[in-house]
Structure 1
Amino acid sequence: METPTASTRTAHARTAASRAPQRATARDWAGLGVLALALLLISVDATVLDIAVPAISAHLAPSTPQLLWIIDVYSFVLAGLLVTMGVVGDRIGRRKLLLLGAAGFGLASILAAWSVNPGMLIAARALQGVAGATLMPATLGLIRAMFTDPRQRTTAIAVWSAVAGGGAALGPLLGGWLLQHFWWGSVFLINLPVMAALIALGPLLLPESKDPKPGRFDVLSAGLSMLTLVPIVYAVKEIAAHGVAVTPLLIALVGVVAGVLFVRRQRRLADPMLDLRLFARPRFRTAVLTNLLAVFALAGVLFFGSQYLQLVLGRSPLDAGLLLLPGMAASMVTALACAWLVRWWQPGRVLGGALALAAVGAAVFLWLDAGSGVPAFVVGFLLVGAGVGVALTISADLVVGSAPAERAGAAAAVSETAYEAGVALGVAVLGSVVMAVFRHGLDLSAVPEAQMATAGESLGGAVQVAQQLPDRAAALLLHSAQHAFVSGVHVAAIATALILGAAAVIAWRAAKPARRPESSRPAADRS
């Protein structure tokens, strides 16, 4: 047998070193801090608006459909553009796309802050969605490029998820404080200093990364991807709010047809925008599905929870933000704990357990009432937040880790599309369920005919009308509105618990023993 020469051994060593993932440097970890700023732009903005819903209702007087659009048009546009922007980032550079998106997000925030009517605010939120679509895939794509070691990448994504939860927790607190001292539009201006820091530090600490051979950009696929999601989500919102009708069904059909055409086109293209082969992997499918369902629950709870605390229990915006804090903090802590948990248990098992915990939290909301439901709300939201924190971290890690580095942006966009679709559907479906039950149980017998439409439009409208009525009529309307709203929350809580329970079963059954990464096995095992 031929004895290897020194040069041969050196060549083998270099080949092994090139295959082994490189450990992240101090600059990479500092760059992760910069990416965290981008997450703050998005996560703070999402939850700060939830706490501002009553103030927006009072000053701009939006109808219920307008109020829902103010909340979820951001997610509609963002979700529709995520896949496209993920591919754009892979082509032009993820850092470049991140910085452009940050600047655009700040400008859209200024427009939102000084909106003078619901239509203007809806338009500003849509522009925020366009800018936000550039940020999320770019952050995860950069993490995939900067952290090639699997364990370090899991830790980095855990930090990424924890910061998202921290921003969501910070949003209600900042929003509550701002709403007590300034006008409602100030909740959007907190984005500006974060945007400025991101633009200043990004070029210094973030490496540029992109696909060296991106292939041809397919404009038709980009259009079909947005034409698939937006009509379907809109139709779900309309059917949940107003019942089955011909128009939303036709709109949904447009989305389904566009989706079929999108899938068929991706299968034919040499360089598809979305690599459908990833969905053949059970763990990938489970990760995407659980991501969507976990965020569905969290977004719905935040939407009706802030109104329950302020308009039913009479808490101030700041108090409401403080009561939301334990649940959001639990989401942060469990996200960070994921890097340790997956070393001892299979990711699917951890996912299943986390989703089951969140389902229990949703069931706790059945103990809410119109008089003293603070303890039940805090406990229920804490459990939901803890479970969702784990689910988002593990699902993002599974999605990003399964894709090649050069397509990291496109793979990250799949995870973020599920996330934003979950936000939109959570607000649309659960919010509409609550309002449907609310309207059914509302007693308008003491309300003048001219004010019935306003009182029946939303809980905020009922509270506003009650302030203009004589004491006895006001008390009757408030009692009816608050109890009807709580009844709606109970129905939404049952639906949320069932959905999360089903997701837990899916994650548990899909769990399979994970193979140890090639890079983590001892060299002797690979020889």
Structure 2
Amino acid sequence: MLPAPTTPVTERLGAGARWWALAVLTLPVLLIAIDNTVLSFALPAISEALAPSGQQLLWIVDIYSLVLAGLLVPMGSLGDRLGRRRLLLIGATGFAIVSALAALSPDAATLIVARALMGFFGAMLMPATLSLIRNIFTDPVQRRTAIAIWAAAFSGGAALGPIVGGFLLEHFAWGSVFLMAVPVMLPLLLLGPVLIPESKDPEPGPVDLVSVLLVLATMTPLVYAIKVLTDSGLALVPVLCALISVVAGVAFVRRQLARSHPMLDVTLFTRPVFTGAVLANLLSVFSLVGFLYFVSQHLQLVSGRSPMQAGLVLVPGLVVTIIAGLLVVRLVRYVSPATVITGGLLLNALAFTLVAVTGTWGSDLLLLIAFALLGAGVGAAETLSNDLILSAVPARKAGAASAISETAYETGAVLGTAVLGSLLNAAYSRHVQLPVELSDAQRASASETLGGATAVAGELPSTLAQPLLASARAAFDSGVLLTSGIGAVLMVIAAVIAHRTLRQAT
């Protein structure tokens, strides 16, 4: 059997150099995670500046994660062929350039295209980071610690997004949330070639363009179907899209099973620990992104806080997320990973239940507490689920396992916004009551999103603006209650699945 491709990497790195390499590798992870959620805080400003429709607003958020999720596995395979460090540096360069262009978008359609390109280059970044960590840290204890830091950058970055967004939007235009990619990527581009050793598969399989198309044909119609079904109800087009997704997914699996060098080793999913860890990963991110989608808008558009003030409300949750991710490395010495991950998912359920039962109108302190509970749950579940995904497979399959782990993360981000965000928008549209004096254009904007209603209210006299804002905020909170209840139920189901599938993990 061929030696694992990790050997040259570990021989060339001393103990200290490995941790410096990890520090550089966390930069793209941190940026990608921040980018997943920073946009939530920029949505009100983007709504006012570009006047997107409700569907455009969701696509601005979703298209990035959608493209990223669809291309992670193909890019992971490409990295095996070309070299993971090489692809990492190409992705970092492209991501920084396109992020700068996104900041200059004159309309919603242009921003959607720019976000799609960011997803394309982001997909080059993600598979390389985790697989390189798996190759650099061969000692199990060091690997778990390294993955804890990596996961803390992921979950902490997702929580840091609103805070960074709040600061930037307090002092700069909405485009600043994209421009921040440039200074973050510069250290990676300068230090990466020095600190990160190259790593590649010595005998990679051929590029499989058919499998690439099948992955995209599975992911894109699926998310589109979810978005349309939750927003407009049962219709022919989304049903057909869902069927296309299922057919493409089945064809992809069959093709991988039939090939001697599959793009993705789907037999990994026959291992209960691996499958359970992937689901825990996906659903943890689902809960985090779905929660941030509504809490960021509530703090600004309902509570009336500035972007910076809203971000500061979430600081405790950020701190708890990072601490929880690091503490579980010690905790699993005494408690099984299955128990810790199950407990983390139940904390997520408790956070959603707290909002669903008491309502968001009580106080912002309630949202702070709920987000701290969610942060603890996500921090614990994300760290251990990623470690279990990698440790459940041989070292030679680290690339495939990394791609699956990150695909689960990005799919969770897509579905968190698509499912909970679409349900929230649909509930808002059904319950908002608009003044009869509004023009057709104003009615269209105010009926789709709370940000649109807030922008329209700014154009009206106070006698019309106040009733519109009161109705819009009440309609928004009614949607929050619905999505929080759904989120709580999903997290309980996830906890049950994790408990049953991860019991063999050590």
TM value normalised by structure 1: 0.91
Deviates more, 1:496-505 or 1:449-458: 449-458
Alpha-carbon distance in structure 1 between the residues aligned to 2:119 and 2:30: 15
1:59-92, CA deviations, whole angstroms, 9 ceiling, x for partnerless residues? 0000000000000100100000011011111121
Structure 1, unpaired ranges of 5+: 1-16, 516-527
DSSP-derived class of the 1:208 partner = coil
Residue deviations 1:231-251 (CA, integer Å, cap 9, x gap): 111111111111111011111
The partner residue of 1:505 within 496, 502, 506 is 496
Measured after TM superposition, the shift of residue 338 of structure 1 is 2.0
Matched, 1:393 2:380: no
Q: Does 1:120 align with 2:101?
A: no
User: Matched residue of 1:38: which SS?
Assistant: helix
CA distance 1:236–1:53, change in 2 (3 Å):
same
Q: CA deviation at 1:514?
A: 4.0
Decide which moves more: 230-239 or 175-184: 175-184
Contact (CA 8 Å) 1:442, 1:480: kept in 2 or not? yes
Q: For the aligned residues, what is the CA RMSD?
A: 1.9
Structure 2 residue identity aligned to 1:381? F
Q: Distance in 2 between matches of 1:201 and 1:256?
A: 43
Q: How big is the shift at 1:502?
A: 0.6
Q: Distance between the aligned counterparts of 2:189 and 2:140, measured in 1?
A: 29
Q: For residue 457 of structure 1, report the CA deviation from its aligned partner.
A: 1.5
Q: Given that residues 353 and 484 in structure 2 are in contact (C-alpha distance below 8 angstroms), is that contact kept between their aligned partners in structure 1?
A: yes
Alpha-carbon distance change, 23 to 362 in structure 1, aligned in 2, over 3 angstroms: farther
Q: Which moved more, 1:172-181 or 1:351-360?
A: 172-181
Partner of 1:411: 401
1:240 and 2:230 equivalent? yes
Give the whole-Å Cα distance in 2 for the aligned partners of 1:172 and 1:206.
30
Cα deviation, residue 370, structure 1: 6.3
Q: 2: distance between equivalents of 1:432 and 1:326?
A: 28
**Partner of 2:474: helix, strand, or coil?**
helix
8 Å contact from structure 2 (residues 273, 392) kept in 1: no
SS at match of 2:105: coil
Task: Write the distance in 2 (CA, Å) between the matches of 1:371 and 1:278.
Answer: 45
Q: Does 1:176 align with 2:129?
A: no
Q: Which residue of 1 aligns with 2:189?
A: 199
Aligned twin of 1:254? 244
Residue 302 (structure 1) aligns with = 292
Number of the residue aligned with 1:8 = none
1:271 paired with 2:257, answer no
Relative distance call for 1:447 and 1:336 in structure 2 (3 A) is: farther
Which residue is 2:466 aligned to? Answer: 475
Match for residue 491 of structure 1? Answer: 482
Residue 344 of structure 1: aligned partner: 334
* Separation (CA, whole Å) in 2 of partners of 1:93 and 1:272: 18
User: C-alpha distance in 2, partners of 1:218/1:74?
Assistant: 23
1:327 to 317, 326, 336: 317
For residues 401 and 109 of structure 1, the distance between their equivalents in structure 2, rounded to whole angstroms, comes to: 34
Cα distance in structure 2, aligned partners of 1:59 and 1:445: 23
1:269 to partner: Cα distance: 0.5
> Which stretch has the larger CA shift, 173-182 or 480-489?
173-182
* Farther off after superposition, 105-114 or 393-402: 393-402
The alpha-carbon distance between structure 1 residues 125 and 362, as it changes in their structure 2 partners (threshold 3 A), is same
Deviations 1:152-181, CA, capped at 9 Å, x for gaps:
111000000112233233322222122122
The correspondence for 1:435, drawn from 417, 425, 433, is: 425
d(CA) in 2 for partners of 1:119 and 1:381?
A: 32
Match of 1:151 in 2: 141
Alignment equivalent of 1:190, drawn from 180, 192, 196: 180
Question: Which whole-Å CA distance do the structure 1 matches of 2:215 and 2:445 have between them?
Answer: 38
Q: Is the 8 A contact 1:313 1:372 kept in 2?
A: no
Q: Would the aligned equivalents of 1:90 and 1:408 in 2 still touch at CA under 8 Å?
A: no
Question: Structure 1 residues 503 and 61, CA, compared in 2 at 3 Å: closer, same or farther?
Answer: same
CA shift digits 1:377-421 (9 cap, x unpaired): 001111111101111111111112223333322210101111111
What amino acid is the match of 1:176?
G
Question: Corresponding residue for 1:421?
Answer: 411
Is contact 1:326–1:378 with CA below 8 Å preserved after alignment? Answer: yes
Q: Does 1:460 align with 2:479?
A: no
Task: Tell me the SS of whatever aligns to 1:212.
Answer: coil
- The 1-side partners of 2:253 and 2:28 are apart by 31
Counterpart contact for 2:434–2:443, Cα < 8 Å: yes
Question: What's 2:282 paired with?
Answer: 292
CA distance in 1, matches of 2:203, 2:233: 48
Find the counterpart in structure 2 of residue 13 from structure 1: none
Label 1:181 to 1:22 Cα distance change in 2 as closer, same or farther (>3 A): closer
Q: Are the aligned partners of 1:462 and 1:481 in contact in 2 as well (CA < 8 Å)? A: yes
Distance 1:500 1:98 in 2: 34
Q: Which has the larger radius of gyration?
A: 1
Assess if the C-alpha contact under 8 Å between 1:144 and 1:401 holds in 2. Answer: no
Distance 1:513 1:76, change over 3 A: closer
Q: Does the CA contact (< 8 Å) of 2:302 and 2:473 recur in 1?
A: yes
Q: Tell me which residue corresponds to 1:102.
A: 92
Q: Distance in 2 between matches of 1:503 and 1:370?
A: 24
Is the Cα–Cα contact under 8 Å of residues 90 and 406 in structure 1 kept in the other structure? no
* Aligned counterpart in structure 1 of residue 370 of structure 2, from 372, 377, 380: 380
- 2:463 corresponds to which letter in structure 1? R
| Distance (Å, rounded) in 1 between the aligned partners of 2:26 and 2:205 | 30
Q: What SS class does the counterpart of residue 215 from structure 1 fall into?
A: coil
Match of 2:272 among 265, 282, 291: 282
Native 8 Å contact 1:23 1:147 kept in 2: no
Q: Which residue of 1 aligns with 2:3?
A: none
Q: Aligned pair count?
A: 498
Which residue in 2 is equivalent to 1:76?
66
State the Cα deviation string for residues 188-239 of structure 1 (Å, max 9, x = none).
1111011111000101111111111112222211221121111111111111
Query: Is the 8 Å Cα contact of residues 28 and 125 (structure 2) preserved in structure 1?
Result: yes
Give the corresponding residue for 2:4: none
Contact 1:309 1:315 in 2 (8 A): yes
Q: Answer yes or no: is 1:35 the counterpart of 2:25.
A: yes
- Return the TM-score normalized by structure 2: 0.95
The CA distance in 2 between the partners of 1:87 and 1:368, in whole Å, is 47
- For residues 5-49 of structure 1, the C-alpha deviation after alignment (integer angstroms, 9 at most, x for no partner) is xxxxxxxxxxxx99x999961101110000011112212222221
CA contact (8 A) 2:338 2:505 kept: no
Quick check: 2:346–2:377 contact (8 Å CA) kept in 1? yes
Which of 114, 125, 128 is the equivalent residue of 1:138? 128
Identity of aligned residues (%): 52
Name structure 2 gaps, 5 residues minimum: 1-6
Alpha-carbon distance between aligned partners in 1 of 2:114 and 2:108, rounded to the nearest angstrom: 10
